[in-house]
Structures are given as structure tokens and as C-alpha cells.
Structure 1
Amino acid sequence: MPVLYSRHGDIAILTLNDAQRRNALSRASVAQLLDLIARSRAEKARAIVIAANGPVFCAGANIDDLKAGWMSGVADPTDPALLFRALAEEKRPTIAAVQGGALGGGFELTLSCDLVVMGAESYFALPELGHGVIPNTALARLHRVVGTRRAAELILTRRRLSAAQAVEWGLANRIVLTADVLSSAIDLALSIVQSAPPGAIAAAKHNLAHHGETDWARVLSSPEDVPPTEWREGLRAFDERREPSYDQFWQDR
């Protein structure tokens, strides 16, 4: 199963479980995560923790699924942006428990959660432009956390941001030992839901989001802004484990 479901009392734990593929978001994992969010709601879980098995939290979007439709702009019920929207609009607290790298869509997954706990050696990165694609959800949400200049730096340079820097920039709430990431995230969730009622939590989240609304229609359509020749070359180079050749596109400008 690409995602595991468990409970710790009132907390639902959704664990990415495809370590062989570095927990990349695929059609199967996105669909299952959406189903499990609904299941947790039906079971009256008070909060959701997103965790992962293996050394990498999430390496981003599955390349095969990017090539097979996610970049086309065609409506797809397994588009990762729909998962990110579901988490961002969830009425209950959502917390990401990050160990290892959170790259691309993995970083965007954390941007869609309310709070983030990181292992000391974990990091964020947005490598999309190097592959000829764009981090469409990060383009909509990252600058509201870190400001436009820092968002532009992370997106354009694709550099890694350490856990310490992530806390400094407001992208994570706390750093703990890797072995304690999940338990710390659960404790954080419990500290919220055991001392506040659901309606007040939902109202606080709703109004916080209202004052910085995300244009999800634009997020879903924005991959169409990238010339297909560019992303096909970038993703083909990734598959072939070579450097992409973008000079041709600069010459055509």
C-alpha cells in the first residue's frame, strides 16, 4: 500500500509508504490520501498527521504521472494540487512530520499543512525548474510564509533549505531528533485538540485562510503555462539520467 493508515487516540496518522520510490506522489498515493482524509473524518479523528516511512519524506511528484497527464492541464481527480487543497481547507489541524528530504511536491505537501515538525537532518527543496516544470502550489503559497524574495530564491535557485533555516524562515515550527519526529507531531496535535473545541479551531483556520486566500483554479491550470517542449526535455533528461539541454529554448526566445 502506498499509504498506511493508523490511529493514535484522536489523531489519524497517514504514512507515505513507498520508500523504494522515495515516497513520490503518484496517482495511487494521491487517491489513497484523499480517501484516507475522508475516512479519518468519518471516524471522528480530531487531527491529521502526515508522516513517511524510509529515509526520505517525499521526493515530489511521480515523473511518469507528470508526463502522462499532470502537465497537460486536463482535469484529473488525482492531481496532487487537489490533495494540497483538501489539506489546506481541512477544518481539523493538519501536521507534517518530516524526516529526510521534502522535495517538490513533498515540500508543497508541508505548505498545505498547518504545522510542520522536522528532523534535524531534514531539508526542503524545489527542484522543478531544473526539470522544465513549475512548483505550482508553492508559487501560490510559499511567498505568504517567507516573502517574495525568499520564495523567488528557493524556486529559481532550487537550493536546499536546512531544517534550521526552515524554522528561521517560518516554514517549520520545531526541530527534533529524527527518531522523535512522529511522536512530537502527535503530541503537538494532541495539545491542540485536547484543549480547544472543533468549531473554534475550524473558525480560526477558515479566517486565517481567508486573509491569504489561494487561487486554486490558477494553481491547477498553471502547468499549462510551461511550453511542452521544455518540460518534455526536462523530464526525458531526468529519465535518461543526463543533463537537460535547454540552450535551444534560449536561442528561440
Structure 2
Amino acid sequence: MAEVVTTRREGAILEVTLDRPKANAIDRSTSVLMGQIFETFRDHPELRVAILKSAGDKFFCAGWDLKVAADRDEVNAYYGVGGFGGLERLRDLNKPVIACVNGIAVGGGFELALSCDLIYASDHSSFALPEIMAGQLAASAAIKLPKRIPHHIARELLLTGRWMDAAEAHRWGLINEVLPREKLEQRAWEVARQLAAGSPLVIAAVEETMRVAEALSYQDAITRVSSRHLATVDKLYGSDDRMEGARAFSEKRAPVWRGR
């Protein structure tokens, strides 16, 4: 049997490919596996960036596998360390994940893309949250979408289940860029290499600061940062890497990040 999730590595970049024909829908065992993969990515000291993509040209991910939806045990099952798709609830992930969306991202597939830091999509991609017609709550989307796009657009998508094409998603600022399908992966890798060349300590501090600040006022958030209350910020402020950028600039060379 073919592997439903495969990985390949290029230096500090990990590419994760969902390959579960026909629609790349995710069942419990696939979700658990994805959680294990992203947990390993999170904890691996040499990995800095991940790209999440899928096989095929029609579906990025159809979300939860509806073939098992009527199975109460499957519905209430443990979906792994990261929650659905391995990313929805993965704690302390301070490394960027790039969603490379080629095709339909529907239901949990849309939510999976929302769990990533950057979203690049092919021009034939589309997005929808039809859970209202399946008796389900798109909980992750209900929390995240109103923070990403205008409130009433988010509410409309959640309450009507209507489709949104890539151009509209880009117009609302939901995705970073729309590309021809033949250029999509090339662009995702280009961005991944750019991120991998940056300071891993700064990237981790940005990730944690943005995540924590979502639930705080500006004053509370800036106080936590300036007092080095956040672990990633404290590590950055006390690191050799903090001075490396300035030294590299003055010496007219590329910085060498050591993560310490």
C-alpha cells in the first residue's frame, strides 16, 4: 500500500506531501501520522521550515474523510498530537509552515491551510466550509477566519458554505499569492529557502510573539516581550546570533546563524 503521507528534506526544509486519493481526505490514522511528522519537525534542531502540499491536481485536501463520518468511534477519535491534520493544535510550533494549495481546499482542508503561516495557491484553487450542511462545526475556522478577513465575509463563509475562488481569497488577504499551477511549488520553495536563510531565533521569536499577542492588549504583549517573559524572546536576547547580523553587515558577508 502506498504511503499516504511522504516527506523529503532539503537542508533545513522539510516537504510534507499528503497523498490519499481521490480527494486527499484525512482519516484518524492519517491525522495521527501527520501529527507525528510535524512534531518531529518542531523538535528537530536542524529543520527550520516546512512546506505542506498534496498529490494530484484537483484536491489540496477534502478535509475529514466523510466515508467514516457515520462511525461514532471515528468521529470521537483521538486525532493525534497536533489535532486534525497534525497542525491544528500542535503546541509551541515556532517554525513556519507554508501551505502550497493546488486545487480544492474544503472543510478541514481549508482549516488545514489556515493552520499554516503562509498560503500560496494555484489559480484554479477554491475554498469552502460546507460543514453547515453536514451537521458539523468548523471550529478552527470559526475562531481563525474572523481574525484574518472581514468579519461579515468570514461569517458568510461559515454560515452559507459558499465557495470562494483563489482570486477572492487573495483579495481578502487570506492567501499570500495566486500563481499558475506550474509555478506554485517553485514559488513555495523559493520562499522556504528565503526563510531557512534567516535567523532561526528571530523567526521563533516572531512566531511566539504573534501567537501570544493574539489574546493580549498591545501594552500587555509588549510588556511580555520587553521583560523577556517569552521563552523564544529570552533566548534570542541572550544569544550570540543577536549580534551576528550586525557583525556580518559590517564585515560585508552573509550571516552564519548558529541558533545560540
Which category describes the TM-score, using the shorter chain as reference length?
A: 0.7 to 0.9
- In the other structure, the counterpart of 2:87 is 83
Q: How many residues align?
A: 210
Kindly provide the CA deviation profile for residues 90-119 of structure 1, in whole angstroms up to 9, marking residues without a partner as x: 211110000010000010011110000000
Instruction: Give the 3 Å change call, closer, same or farther, for CA 30–116 of structure 1 in structure 2.
Output: same
Mapped to 2, the partners of 1:75 and 1:210 lie a distance apart of 26
Match of 2:214? 212
Q: CA RMSD in A?
A: 2.1
Alignment-mate amino acid for residue 85 of structure 1: R
Question: 1:23-172 maps to which residues of 2 (within 5 A)?
Answer: 23-40=24-41, 41-42=43-44, 44-54=46-56, 55-67=58-70, 68-69=72-73, 71-72=75-76, 76-77=79-80, 79-80=83-84, 83-86=87-90, 89-172=92-175
Show structure 2 runs of 5+ residues with no match: 217-260
Identity of aligned pairs, percent?
30
**In the superposition, relative to structure 1, how do residues 81 and 118 fare at CA in structure 2: closer, same or farther (>3 Å)?**
closer
Question: What does the per-residue CA deviation read over 1:152-202, in whole Å, with 9 as the maximum and x for residues that have no partner?
Answer: 1101111111111111111100011112222211111111221x2111111
**Given that residues 100 and 119 in structure 1 are in contact (C-alpha distance below 8 angstroms), is that contact kept between their aligned partners in structure 2?**
yes
TM-score (norm. length: structure 2): 0.75
User: Which residue number in structure 2 is paired with residue 7 of structure 1?
Assistant: 9
Q: Which runs of 5+ in 1 are unaligned?
A: 215-253
CA contact (8 A) 2:94 2:208 kept: yes
Q: Which has the larger radius of gyration?
A: 2
* TM-score, structure 1 normalization: 0.77
Contact 1:2 1:28 in 2 (8 A): no
**Residue type matched to 2:65 in 1?**
N
What is the 5 A alignment of 1:228-247? Answer: none
Q: 1:99 to 1:157 in 2, by over 3 A?
A: same
Cα 1:213–1:193 change in 2 (3 A) is farther
**Contact persistence 2:35–2:80 (CA under 8 A):** no
Name the SS for the 1:61 alignment partner.
Answer: coil
Alignment of 1:174-213 (within 5 A): 174-194=177-197, 196-213=198-215
Structure in which a larger fraction of residues adopt helix? 1
Given residue 36 of structure 1, which amino acid in structure 2 is its aligned partner? I
Partner deviation per Cα, 1:52-75 (whole Å, 9 max, x = no partner): 001210001112444334644x65
Q: Which has the higher contact order (CA 8 A, sep 6+)?
A: 1
Is the partner of 1:85 in helix, strand or coil?
coil
Residues 134-157 of structure 1: CA deviation (Å, up to 9, x unaligned): 111101111100132111110111
The 3 A distance-change label for structure 1 pair 76 and 124 is closer
Shift of 1:82: 5.9
